[in-house]
Chains A and B, each alone.
Chain A
Amino acid sequence: MRPFAAILRKDLMLELRSGRTTTALVSLALLVLVVLAFALDRAIAGGSDAAAGAMWVALVFAGMLGATRVMLAEQENGCLRALLLSPVDRATLYAAKLAAAFIFMLGAALAAMILAILFFNLEFSNAFGTLSVALLLGALGFSALATLLAAISARARGGELLLPILIVPLFVPALIAGVKASASALSGAQFAAAGQWFGVLAAFDVLFVAAGYLLFEHVVGEE
Chain B
Amino acid sequence: MAKPLQNALGGLTLVVMLIALYLVFMWVPTEIDQGIVQRIFYFHVPCAWVAFASFGLVAIAGIFYLWLGGQIWDDLGYAAAEVGMLFCTLVLITGSLWAKPIWGTWWTWDSRLTTTFVLWLMYGGYLMLRAMADDSPQIARYGAVIGIVAALDVPVVIISVRLWRTIHPAVLVTRQGGHGLEDMRMVVTLLVSLAAFTLLFAWLLMLRFSELRMRSRLNAAAREIAIARLRVGAA
Contact = CB atoms under 8 A, between A and B. Distances in A.
Nearest to A173: B160
Given A170-B150, A180-B164, A204 B156 contact: yes
B161 A176 contact: yes
In this complex, the interface size class of chain A, counting residues with CB under 8 Å from chain B, is 20 to 34
A173 B157 contact: yes
Given A157-B132, A170-B149, A173-B159, A221 B138 contact: yes
A166 B136 contact: no
Contacts of B141: 218-219, 221
B153 interface: yes
Contacts of B126: 166
Q: Which applies to chain B's interface (DSSP): helix, strand, loop or mixed? A: helix
Contacts of A200: 156, 159-160, 163
B149 A215 contact: yes
Given A170-B153, A173-B161, A211-B148, A157 B118 contact: no
29 contacts: A145-B149, A148-B145, A152-B146, A155-B138, A156-B139, A156-B142, A157-B133, A159-B133, A162-B125, A162-B133, A165-B125, A166-B146, A168-B121, A169-B124, A172-B157, A173-B156, A173-B157, A173-B160, A173-B161, A180-B164, A196-B163, A197-B163, A204-B156, A207-B152, A207-B156, A211-B149, A215-B66, A215-B148, A221-B141
Task: Please name the 5 residue pairs, one residue from A and one from B, whose CB atoms are nearest each other, closest first.
Answer: A156-B133, A169-B121, A173-B160, A158-B132, A173-B156
